[in-house]
Amino acid sequence: MIFEVLVVSIIAGFIGSLLGIGGGLIIIPFLSIVFKLTMHQAAAAGLVSVIATSSGAASAYVKDKLTHLRIGMFLQLATVIGGVLGAILSGFLPTKILSVIFGILLLYNSLLMIKNRTSDEKPREYSQATKWTKSLKLYGSYYDKILNREITYSAQNTFWGFLMMTFAGLLSGLLGIGSGIFKVLALDTIMKLPFKVSTATSNFMMGVTALASISIYLARGDIVYDICGAVAVGVLGGSLIGSKVMPYIKSKYLKVAFALILIYTSIEMIKKGLL
């Protein structure tokens, strides 16, 4: 069984990195539907894959100075609180209800992916720092390789961003996913940070968020070590292959095809919870 989990994890990591979504979203339904794990055990394995891939990728992003360490650190307070609450809450919810929530979230994610398949970044003006952002140092700059100039930015709507991050952490702890779309939503849409900074900072935050959640799963004894190990190695390996292959894959039809598979999977998860 370990070998099968390893192979499936490699595929999940590969597809996840091609689509720009976490391996957790793909591996959790597999573990739950095919390998008959409870949602709690599957979520724990998902969190392990989040720690492995986000730490691997964050290492590169931080070096490129795209990550804003202070914004990440400050908002981690929100995601860690949410992550702990979500993980504790999951202990009180039956596996069927978790399955339905997961299915709905995956469905939302897949539909969003089809809608945003041609995403390009629009340059925008960044307004001045406010009192909050000044005292917390939530501003900075990065060198944009495509625009070929230094971009300065400063966080807006800090309070609402913090709130959205708590929600992202909650979902992460509850379901075992990285909940990257909600983190990027908070950073990019609400706090108006540049998209590249948002994705890098969101990734940077995932490791610590997942750690906060998994420490609860660990304390509760929901971790199947052999399977978690296979998932960690498989998803990381698969996502490394995916990131190497990605520049050569341009077809947006591929993304839609994968998204359709994910929609099918999410319906299966919802059915599994309701029947």
Partner 1 sequence: MESKKSLDMEKVISLILRVGVVLSIIVISFGLLAHILIDAKVATLIIKVGLYILFLTPFARLVVSLFMFLLEKDLIYFAITLGIIVIIVLSNMVVSLRF
Nearer to partner 1, 8 or 113 (CB): 8
Nearer to partner 1, 223 or 241 (CB): 223
| 150 DSSP β-pair partners | 143
What's the CA gap between 208 and 37, in Å, rounded? 25
- Scan residues 59-88 and list those touching partner 1 (CB under 8 A): 59-60, 62-63, 65, 67, 69-70, 73-74, 76-77, 80-81, 84, 88
Q: Which of 113, 168, 200, 233 binds partner 1 (CB under 8 A)?
A: 233
Q: Which of 10, 12, 39, 58 binds partner 1 (CB under 8 A)?
A: 58
- Scan residues 112-151 and list those touching partner 1 (CB under 8 A): 135-137
253 touching partner 1, by CB under 8 A: no
Count, residues near partner 1 per rule CB under 8 A: 49
- Scan residues 165-204 and list those touching partner 1 (CB under 8 A): none
Nearer to partner 1, 65 or 117 (CB): 65
Nearer to partner 1, 15 or 230 (CB): 230
User: CB within 8 A of 261, min separation 6: which ones?
Assistant: none
Minimum distance between the CB of residue 61 and partner 1, rounded to whole angstroms? 9
Minimum distance between the CB of residue 82 and partner 1, rounded to whole angstroms? 11
Q: Which of 107, 163, 211, 254 binds partner 1 (CB under 8 A)?
A: 211
230 touching partner 1, by CB under 8 A: yes
Query: Which residues of the chain form contacts with partner 1 (CB under 8 A)?
Result: 2-3, 6, 48, 51-52, 55-56, 58-60, 62-63, 65, 67, 69-70, 73-74, 76-77, 80-81, 84, 88, 135-137, 207-208, 210-212, 214-216, 218-221, 223, 225-226, 228-230, 232-233, 236
